[in-house]
Amino acid sequence: MLFAWITDPNAWLALGTLTLLEIVLGIDNIIFLSLVVAKLPTAQRAHARRIGLMGAMVMRLALLASIAWVVKLTNPLFTVFGQEISFRDLILLLGGLFLIWKASKEIHESVMLPTY
């Protein structure tokens, strides 16, 4: 039963999605670090780039561990209209609301700012 996930297509889809996200985030980190490091003196660039990439890796591992912890928070805290709400549900709800707010703000700024 330990390796039952190998035959589950959902597990492979999740693995593929996570792999794709890691690749995109890795490229994003490299681009961001290149822009930030370019402002430093030449002698410090390689060291700063190494520290930045290690920091990004540690942060990603910490976030992955915290997500694994959050997924297990399924004990109901309270009930709303017969629906049990857990701490995980609250985190997902707040995260979704934040993404909607952030996207709306970005769209509003791009529409309302004059272009020259």
Same domain, 62 and 38: yes
pLDDT single digits (tens) 67-109: 888 889 999 999 999 999 999 999 999 999 999 999 999 899 8
Same domain, 97 and 116: yes
Same domain, 78 and 66: no
The answer to pTM > 0.75 is no
The whole domain housing 53 covers 11-72
- Predicted pLDDT of residue 58: 93
pLDDT single digits (tens) 6-65: 888 888 898 899 899 889 988 888 898 889 899 999 999 999 999 998 998 899 889 888
Residue 89, in any domain of the structure: yes
- Binned at pLDDT 50, 70 and 90, residue 115 comes out as low
Q: Which residue has the tokens 């890796």?
A: 57
d(CA 21, CA 36) in angstroms, rounded, equals 22
Same domain, 23 and 46: yes
Per residue, the 3-state secondary structure of the chain, as one string, reads CCCHHHHCHHHHHHHHHHHHHHHHHHHHHHHHHHHHHCCCCHHHHHHHHHHHHHHHHHHHHHHHHHHHHHHCCCCEEEEECCEEEEHHHHHHHHHHHHHHHHHHHHHHHHHHCCCC
